[in-house]
Amino acid sequence: MPKSDDRYLRLMSREAVAKARQFHRSFPQYSPTPLVRLDGMATRLGLGGLYVKDESYRFGLNAFKVLGGSFAMARYIAGALGKDVSETDYAYLTSEQLKKDFGQAAFFTATDGNHGRGVAWAANKLGQKATVHMPKGSAKSRFDNIAKEGAQVTIEEVNYDDCVRMAAAEAARTEHGVVIQDTAWEGYEEIPSWIMQGYGTMAAEAAEQMAVRPTHVFVQAGVGSLAGAVAGFFANLFPDDPPRFIVMEAQNADCHYRSALAGDGAPQTVGGDLRTIMAGLACGEPNPISWDILRNHADAFVSCPDWVSAKGMRMLAAPVKGDLAVTSGESGAVGMGLVSAIMEDSEYKELRSALGLDQNSRVLLFSTEGDTDPGHYRSIVWDGAYPAV
């Protein structure tokens, strides 16, 4: 693919991410999530090291998404008040003074579950309003978790991307309405950039916990904001010797993979129902901001059938003896399944060689969610749904 001028890479600078991390540290619920080192699994797969960032512990919400939504809300409020985000920490945002200074906004978003729950949770903590729209087929457990936070929540008969448009339209006709979405479009770029910076907290924690440079980073993409954030952060952290970045998508929503195949640098879209067990990755339209980072810095794009994620869930739940188990949901475990396939299946020998994956490789994965749909999680891990092919 042709490279761009890479103007969005600076969004994920070490300084920008440090501000987001400082904000998250102001929450009484904050603590770094674990980085699990799977030495036994690494040896079995022929790797030098395998590390999994376990986001099932994030703020008690079972997923990483709250990092982006909460930081974007703080940046929005800070901007409305003419303040720097460093002046709008958790104590101020939950104070009576904020009500006098700012009042209340109505935040709108679309979600498969995790992002909406994070926005609803943050709005609840900060005394704001939230309305959340979910695409058809969304799990009732995820709906219920959002509703418990006091948000207005609906499941619509449209896909995720149409839910985004619905949320944007409602925000536009609502007084003090604000869209908190991690995808961007013309005229809506600032808030998605802040969400990406919020995701940087997770990447910065992982880098600090590893204490050595990862040689390979596997990261999921729905709209691509997480992938762009992670790749952008590590590219800034190791500018002279960045890791190799492997971007993974659900096969039925592989807009970045198709964009890479097109080879002209322009983002491609995928329409339809986007059916996949990886609900958090069921997005057919790339965020143009994160896509710009990925087209410059990703080394591979991989389109993954559902069995890849299901196998990863089982491997993390029942790892090699001596390794810690990780409860990883459908959108969180695709990295484990993919690494296993690349390292163990002769069909992917060429890809393994091209990526330089061997006994000297230190591989970092992000388990972005736990069992956010407990019933479905058990059907896969306990009952063997979606067997490997």
State residue 113's pLDDT score: 87
66-187, CATH topology level: Rossmann fold (3.40.50)
Closest CA to 68 of 81, 60, 58: 58
Q: What's the pTM value of the predicted model, to 2 decimals?
A: 0.96
State residue 360's pLDDT score: 98
State residue 389's pLDDT score: 82
Q: List helix spans (H) across the chain.
A: 14-25, 39-45, 66-80, 90-93, 96-101, 114-126, 140-147, 160-172, 190-210, 225-237, 255-262, 288-297, 306-317, 334-344, 349-355, 374-381
* Active site positions, annotated: 65, 112
SS (H, E, C) 129-143: EEEEEECCCCCHHHH
State residue 214's pLDDT score: 98
- Paired tokens of 182: 């991690």
State residue 152's pLDDT score: 95
State residue 167's pLDDT score: 96
State residue 149's pLDDT score: 95
- Domain regions of the chain by residue span: 9-64+192-381, 66-187
State residue 69's pLDDT score: 96
Structural domain 9-64+192-381, CATH architecture: 3-Layer(aba) Sandwich (3.40)
3-state secondary structure of 1: coil
Query: How many angstroms separate the Cα of 368 from the Cα of each of 52, 66, 168, 282?
Result: 10, 11, 25, 14
Domain 9-64+192-381 matches domain 66-187 at the CATH topology level: yes
Regions of the chain short of the pLDDT cut 70: none
